[in-house]
Structure 1
Amino acid sequence: MGGFIFMIGLVQGSYWTHRRIWIQEENGKVMMAGHTNKNWYAFNVKWLKWQKRQSSNSRSIGQKTNK
């Protein structure tokens, strides 16, 4: 039984990535940070795609659009 539990932990630690993202809003500005323990390149690619998408849709908080 102990060996089985050990193998589950080994699989989790070896194959699954752990990602953390922090978001903080202060004075109408949003600050973001992220961290991963593995596969930082894939995390960076996704981060840059998200950042590009957000910058194309960004506007100041409280600013109204005429659509």
Structure 2
Amino acid sequence: MDRRRSPGFRQVCGHVPDQQYRTFKSVCAEQDITVAEALEEAITLWLERQQDKQCIPLVNKVSSAA
């Protein structure tokens, strides 16, 4: 089952500057990872920093092996 149809995943969206978008997509392609995988990693790292700063609970990373 892909992530769109999986009940354990939700969509996240937002707007970033054009050049940042182009660079992000290019680096994802160079690294042979999906945008979703890169976003999941970035969000996880950001949440870990927030946890360190504010003692917020960290949600367990969902396995992408599907």
TM-score (norm 2): 0.33
Higher strand proportion (structure 1 or 2): 1
| Bigger-Rg structure (1/2) | 1
TM-score (norm 1): 0.32
